[in-house]
Amino acid sequence: MKYYKYFILVLLVFTLSACDRTPEEVIIDRELNTDFTDTLAMDFTYDGLSFLDDGVGEVTLEKCTDGDTAVFKDGAVSFPVRFLGINTPESTNRIDPWGKTASEYTCDKLTNATTIVLESEGSIQDGYDRYLAWVWYDGRLINMELVEQSLTYELSSPDSKYTDIMYQAELATQVKERRIWGELDPNFDYSLEGVQVTIKELATNTVEYETSKIVVTGTIAYEVDGNPYIVDDEGYGIYMYLRENSVYIAVGNKVTIEGLNLTYYPDKETGSPQLVNFSKRNIVLISENNEIPVRDVDIIDLTTGDLGSYIQFQNITVTDIYLSPNTGDYTVTCEDALGNEVGLHIQNVDSTEFNLVLNDVLDVTGPLSRYEGQYQLELSNLDTVVEK
């Protein structure tokens, strides 16, 4: 209770001083702090409770996603959680100023936390199958700490029990004019078009382009769920995540696209690079009906620089077939004559059309991706699968 009393005093002093309408007379401390987060303590217990069952409970971090989302585990069940009351700048399917800083801040705190507790309020899930929670790490509310670090706006629901203190934390932070409230992000490329780069250069030196706007020219080689792989004349390629459609995104079309950013899906360590920030404002059609260059690469020689390339594997043998009960996707494991494995991830194929069986020998062409570190060709049909 005594902390609460001090908090009220701080609020009172703060709000009285906020009445002063001559800001030039006020000396503003621009240093960021976590005064509100330091003061706030949990008002609930979670011993023996499960977040998924009881709405409150201790969890473990499975994976960082971005500044306001992470994947946690409650026992053996893993699930994504969107943090309540905030909306940090984007850093996955779009790059915003301060998005990467917010993402790194959250990941650092959660990764190094001894205890993580989730607290639901209102609906436990949103419309995207994500859970919603206030996230406490080692007794600190990271949702509020991100507000105080000027890495998000406060967006808590009016009837949330944290609305008032979140709002006061935002007010106290806003006047500092730091980060999202008035500073340019030194790690963000504010240029509009970006640097022209070949897809091969991009695919093989991704780390060089993580903070640049990018312009690429290439041919649409393949589409998966409406999102294309674009390749250069040598067959090097990269996946592009679209937020909107363009009639120019059609297989065989050679296009130039400006203003793109490079990210990774689902992450840099185990997934694939992808281009984001696509807008149909920034696409120019160069020519149509172009041939798609195909790369021949042996499975054993695959590297991360080949991710996104349009690749053909010849004479590979089916060794395992798995049908996901959740997604309906097939994952077909194949190996070459030397026993090197590669996967085929096949989406949107009806079980009545799926005709592959164990020991089939195949020639398969498709864009290369990676799932949990394992290379696989991404296929949206069986058109490029030839049984021998």
Partner 1 sequence: MKKLLLLVLMFGLGFSLTGCLSSRRDVEQAEVVVLTELPDEQITITFWHIYGLDKSALLNELIAEFAELYPNIVIDSVGYGNYPEVLSKTKKAIGTGVTPDFVVGYPDHFAEYLDLGGIIPLDKFIESEEWGVDLTDFIDSYVAENQQYADGMYSLPYSKSTEMMVYNKEFFDAQGITFTENQILTWEEMEVIADTMVGTGENQCEFLASYDSSANLFINSSRQWGAPYTNAAGDVLVDNQDTRDMLTYLKTLMDDKVLVLPLEWDATFGSANFLAQDVCMTIGSTAGLKYNLPTEQLDTADQFEVGLLPIPQFEDGVNSAMQQGPNIAIMENTDDAERLAAWLFIKFLTNTENSARWAIDTGYLPVRKSSVDSVLYQDLLNNPDPDYIYESMLANVAYSQVDFFAYDPAFAGVGQISSSKVREEAGYAVEAVFVGTKTVDEAIQEMINQLSW
User: Which string of x and - marks every residue 67-96 that binds partner 1 (by CB under 8 A)?
Assistant: -----------------------x---x-x
- Position 183 contacts partner 1 (CB under 8 A): yes
CA 241 to chain centre: 11
Per 3-state DSSP, what percentage of the chain is helix, strand, and coil (rounded to 5)? 20, 35, 45
Q: Indicate the length of the chain as a whole number.
A: 388
Alpha helices in 140-281 (DSSP H): 142-148, 163-174, 199-204
Q: Which of 3, 15, 122, 324 binds partner 1 (CB under 8 A)?
A: 15
Rounded to 10°, the helix 2-18/163-174 angle is: 50
Minimum Å gap between C-beta 209 and partner 1 is 19
Q: Please tell me whether residue 28 binds partner 1 under the rule CB under 8 A.
A: no
Cα 80 to its chain centre, rounded Å, is 12
Q: Sign of torsion, CA 85 91 92 94?
A: positive
Q: Contacts with partner 1 in 129-168 (CB under 8 A)? A: 153, 155, 158, 167
Q: 203 or 220, CB closer to partner 1? A: 220
Measured between alpha carbons, how far is 287 from 267 in angstroms, rounded to an integer? Answer: 33
Tell me if 292 contacts partner 1 by CB under 8 A. Answer: no
Work out whether 373 is an interface residue with partner 1 (CB under 8 A): no
Q: Please, which residue, 64 or 180, has the CB nearer to partner 1?
A: 180
We find the least distance from the C-beta atom of residue 302 to partner 1, in angstroms, to be 31
C-alpha 177: how far from its chain's center?
27
Cβ-based neighbour number of residue 385 at 10 Å: 20
How many residues lie near partner 1 (CB under 8 A)? 48
In the bound complex, what is the minimum distance in angstroms from residue 52's beta carbon to partner 1?
Answer: 25
Select 281 or 359, whichever has its Cβ closest to partner 1.
281
Q: Given the DSSP bridges, would you call strands 227-231 and 272-276 parallel, antiparallel or unpaired?
A: unpaired
Question: Applying CB under 8 A, does 128 fall inside the site for partner 1?
Answer: no
For residue 361, what are the contacts with CB-CB under 8 A and spacing of at least 6?
Answer: 315, 316, 317, 318, 387, 388
Is 381 a binding residue for partner 1 by CB under 8 A? The answer is no
Which residues contact partner 1 by CB under 8 A?
A: 1, 4-5, 8-9, 11-12, 15-16, 18-21, 23-24, 90, 94, 96, 153, 155, 158, 167, 171, 174-175, 177, 180-184, 190-192, 225-226, 243-248, 259, 277, 279-281, 283
